[in-house]
Amino acid sequence: GMQGLEVEEVLDVSPWRKWIAVQARIPGKEGKAVVLLEKKPFDVEDVKRMLAPNAGAEYKLDFQNAEYCVYNLQVPPALNAIKCDTIFPATDQQINKYRKDEIHVLWETVDIYKNVVLPFVEENERGRRIQWVHNILDGSAEQERIIYHNNDPRDGFVLLPDLKWDQTNVSNLYCLAIVNRKDLVCLRSLNDENLDLLQNIYHQGCGAILEKYGVTPDKLIVHIHYLPTFWHLHVHFLHVDLALSAGVTSKAHNLRDCIENIRLLPSYYQVKEMEVRLLEKSLLWKAWTEAKDAEAATQLQDGP
């Protein structure tokens, strides 16, 4: 285990999430680390112990007006744990992923996807970058965390808790369904041949979550991100309380909507223009702008 780190740079801070990302070094080891610190959600039993008369908590008055008071409450360390995720060794791309950056909202045409995005993804975001996904699917990693596994090679998937969820409070439930097929890259890969797979993910995933955690389907938000965080098709299952508090963004496409869109038009995600959000320092933004610059130069050379 780690004994300590030397912080080199604060990458990003989110006060509303009570979250911070830093770049650090582990003394005595080569390479950089990314460390993500996040205040854990309140547990009801911990709160009872925290506020009990003999808990050892210290109240420091910060503000008072009539019956309204604000205290800084110092509680025993055992009741004030902080979630700490680390990436070590971290590549520059992984570090940049967590560094605060300018965001550009763009519209991705089919041509841009085929000629810019997909070639970039195949070269930079597949293979070794998603080896951890293959490790789960082939049974060499994280098997003890699996909630449900449909082994069908075509229409099956594995369901497991997302690492962002500590599995203590179901109102913060966050699970991922990862498809068995390695040729399905993202939402744009889907057509009517994948309807059975998507139905399985929704119905079997919701069923497994109900059996394991007692959360009913009407308390779940189930969606696919586009652009995704990693380029192997996966589906997010969030408790509605978490989804509302975290603010589900426009990159979240409801799975039931996706199924209905494909039923209406099998090639829906092969022809639709898609809103995407790119960080200015991302390699995909660089590839996108270079392609746009080349297109503009070609148009100028061709003339009116």
Helix (H, G, I), strand (E, B), or coil: what is residue 106?
Answer: strand
User: Can you say how many angstroms the Cα of residue 191 is from the centroid of all Cα atoms in its chain?
Assistant: 24
* Of 60, 64, 85, 88, the residue nearest 74 (C-alpha): 60
- The H or E element containing residue 222 is strand 220-225
Phi, psi (deg, nearest 5) at residue 135: -60, -40
Asked if omega into 228 is within 30° of 0 (cis), the reply is: no
DSSP string, 46-113: HHHHHHSTTS--EEEEEEEETTEEEEEEE--GGG--EEEEEESSPPHHHHHHHS---EEEEEE-HHHI
Instruction: Out of 149, 223, 232, 234, pick the active-site residue.
Output: 234
Q: Decide if 104 is catalytic.
A: no
Alpha carbons 128 and 205: distance in angstroms, whole number: 27
Note the helical H segments in the chain.
44-51, 92-98, 110-112, 118-124, 131-137, 195-213, 240-246, 255-264, 268-271, 283-302
**What SS3 state is found at 125?**
coil
Strands 234-239 and 68-74: unpaired
Q: Which of 127, 122, 119, 237 is nearest to 178 (CA)?
A: 237
The catalytic site residues sit at 234
